[in-house]
Copies of this chain bind each other. A is one copy, B any other.
Amino acid sequence: MIHVQTEDFDAGALLNGLLNDPAAGAVATFTGTVRDDSGTLTALTLEHYPGMTEKQLQALEDDARRRWPLSDVVIIHRYGRLIPGDRIVFVGTRAAHRADAFAACEFLMDWLKTRAPFWKQEQYGDRQTWVEAKASDDTAADRWS
């Protein structure tokens, strides 16, 4: 299940939705929220590339399913204006064994960070700046190559 949306999502309900397969005993999730290190962030606006986003996320899911035996994958990513504490992204994976569920969940987050066409703009008061990509995200993604 892939959703790119402005609406909020219920991470707990998404996790519980993954816990319904007696053949697969392992569910890993990652949830990302808007972080405010300095306590001065007013808002975060996520821009994306409609069409390409869905295509890239589907390609990521397909790739994860080729690499690991997964019985379910959920990817939710929001765009638009968010405030500190708001949920941004949810990735959930279900497999028979925990190592596969964990690896696929980390892989999806690492590749999502470097391949999905989203851009974050931070707003501090009336000053707005585009977030720069981090070299550490490229490094994290490279380990799956």
Contacts and interface: CB of A to CB of B under 8 A. Distances in A.
A16 B22 contact: no
Nearest to A92: B29
List the 9 closest pairs (A to B, CB-CB), nearest first: A12-B12, A25-B35, A12-B16, A22-B85, A22-B84, A27-B31, A29-B29, A25-B33, A22-B36
Interface residues of A, number: 41
A30 B102 contact: yes
B28 A28 contact: yes
Contacts of A32: 25-27, 98
Nearest to A18: B31
Kindly name the residue among A19, A32, A101, A136 whose own CB sees the greatest number of chain B CB atoms within 10 A.
A19
Given A19-B31, A29-B28, A31-B27, A98 B87 contact: no
